[in-house]
Homo-oligomer: A and B are copies of this chain.
Amino acid sequence: MSQYKNIKQAAYDANMRLPELGLVLFTFGNASAVDRERGVFAIKPSGVPYAELKPEDMVVLDFDNNVLEGDKRPSSDTKTHALLYKEWTGIGGIVHTHSTYATAWAQAQAAIPIMGTTHADHLTVDIPCAPPMADDKIAGNYEHETGWQIIDHFKELKLDPSEVEMVLVGNHAPFTWGKNVEKAVYNAAVCEEVAKMAYLARQIKPKAPRLKDSLIKKHWERKHGTGAYYGQ
């Protein structure tokens, strides 16, 4: 039996949730789960229809993209996952989708403005949008560079990936993560819903202001602060 059974099952379950939540069409997305002790992660194989996917199809790799288990080719976005796991040692799962509204913001190369408490319940800043990368990097190790594009943008904005668990990649689509892959899936759905709400709010009133600081602080703290009182 595979020593990676747990993360393969977790990655499989997470991938299957994506079409259920209306976040992916066909195979336009992927989820992965990490095993920090072993320094490996399990990810969806590339281009396999969800209807045919099985837990044992998940591909296991280390953070340098060496395949350790699995006879299928891993997701084409694997190198982005690998680099994020390598550099951001606190995250336990990653999800990538092309969900419609979040992708539209990415295509507009625009961060999603924090317009309400639904957003503030999850993060205190605009959902960042990393700019499209330079042409030489695109022509090079593209998916690996996508990881750096995300990481560098977080550095530039002084964001902490344990507090801001989602990003748009300009002209591409969202990536989300979390302490585990279930949380990353949850964040993918939150990102899409917040993207839709911000879209509609700005259509209603193009100059509608961002949420004021006191409300951002309050909503974040009631869910994540030392005196948090949301959840059980």
Contacts and interface: CB of A to CB of B under 8 A. Distances in A.
A202 B202 contact: no
Interface stretch (A7-15, A41-49, A80-88, A152-160): A41-49
Contacts of A202: 108, 204
Interface string A209-232: 001101101100011000001111
Nearest to A45: B232
A46 B232 contact: yes
B193 A100 contact: yes
Interface of A: 25-26, 28, 45-48, 72-73, 76, 98, 100-101, 103-110, 115-118, 132, 135, 138-139, 142, 171-173, 186, 189-190, 193, 196-205, 208, 211-212, 214-215, 217-218, 222-223, 229-232
A172 B120 CA distance: 10
Contacts of A197: 98, 100, 103-104, 107
11 contacts: A26-B190, A45-B232, A76-B222, A76-B230, A100-B196, A104-B203, A107-B116, A108-B204, A139-B214, A139-B218, A202-B204
Contact of A26 (B107, B189, B203): B189
A11 B160 CA distance: 39
Contacts of A139: 214, 217-218
Given A26-B190, A46-B229, A107-B115, 6 more contacts: A46-B230, A46-B231, A47-B232, A100-B193, A138-B218, A171-B212
Contacts of A110: 204-205
Contacts of A103: 116, 118, 197
Nearest to A72: B232
Given A25-B193, A46-B231, A215 B100 contact: no
A229 B76 contact: yes
A108 B201 contact: yes
Nearest to A73: B232
User: Counting chain B CB atoms within 10 Å of each CB, which of A98, A108, A196, A208 scores highest?
Assistant: A108
Nearest to A196: B100
A200 B100 contact: yes
Contacts of A72: 232
Contacts of A118: 28, 98, 103, 173
